[in-house]
């Protein structure tokens, strides 16, 4: 199933829809994927609502959770979220630079602010920032400190990703042993 099918994911839940959710999950014993299909909401929305209603205590215990996180739909949803986040962070890519932005960029460079942070501030990608530095003649004898800060930031992000993946694997293990 394609992510576009789940077009109601941002709508408010009606009382009758919430009652239907109770019946589908508790009495009909439908999985979150089946319920999501019926309601045209993502399985993540279904999980969230089930937890808010205290029908489940944790997402990983929901019926069909493992099937969901191993599905193509889950992959599509994660890719879409990643792309939306990237778009928000890089919304100025390709846009002309202003003189104010150039001044700020030079100031940040001279203050040894790491490249990842500069990218976030200007909402541009690393290639665009480096290119602008070159054009503005922002050159130092050594960029080792800046490179180290970038590496540190990358390692920090990787640690967070590994932590999330470990949590998911732990949830799968607990679900399978339950």
CA 20 to CA 157: how far, in whole Å?
A: 40
Higher pLDDT, 14 or 88: 14
Report the sign of the C-alpha dihedral through residues 31, 32, 35, 40, in that order. Answer: negative
Residues 73 and 114 in one domain: no
Please report the pLDDT score of residue 57 as a whole number.
93
Instruction: Say if 17 falls within a structural domain.
Output: yes
pLDDT tens string 156-173: 888 888 888 888 888 887
User: Domain ends where: 30, 54, 85?
Assistant: 85
User: Domain ends where: 65, 85, 105?
Assistant: 85
Instruction: Say if 134 falls within a structural domain.
Output: yes
Report the b/e string of 48-79 with b at 16+ CB within 10 A.
Answer: ebbeeeeebeebbebbbbbebbeeebbebbee
pLDDT tens string 127-158: 888 888 888 888 654 455 566 677 778 888 88
In terms of residue numbers, what domain contains 72? 3-85
Instruction: Say if 177 falls within a structural domain.
Output: no
User: Domain ends where: 85, 106, 131?
Assistant: 85
Instruction: Say if 141 falls within a structural domain.
Output: yes
pLDDT tens string 1-10: 677 777 776 7
Higher pLDDT, 85 or 29: 29
Query: What's the whole-model pTM score?
Result: 0.50
CA 151 to CA 140: how far, in whole Å?
A: 18
Residues 35 and 51 in one domain: yes
């Amino acid at each position: 199933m394609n992510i576009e099918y789940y077009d109601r994911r941002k709508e408010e839940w009606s009382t009758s829809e919430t009652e239907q959710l109770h019946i589908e999950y508790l009495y009909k014993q439908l999985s979150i994927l089946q319920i999501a299909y019926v309601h045209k909401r993502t399985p993540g929305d279904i999980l969230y609502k089930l937890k808010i209603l205290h029908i489940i205590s944790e997402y990983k215990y929901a019926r069909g959770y493992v099937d969901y996180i191993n599905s193509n739909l889950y992959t599509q949803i994660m890719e879409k979220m990643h792309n939306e986040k990237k778009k928000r962070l890089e919304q100025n890519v390709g846009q002309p630079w202003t003189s104010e932005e150039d001044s700020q960029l030079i100031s940040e460079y001279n203050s040894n602010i790491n490249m990842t942070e500069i990218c976030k501030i200007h909402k541009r990608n690393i290639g665009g920032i480096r290119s602008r530095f070159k054009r503005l003649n922002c050159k130092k004898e050594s960029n080792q400190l800046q490179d180290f800060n970038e590496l540190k930031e990358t390692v920090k992000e990787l640690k967070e990703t590994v932590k999330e993946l470990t949590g998911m694997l732990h949830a799968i293990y607990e679900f399978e042993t339950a």
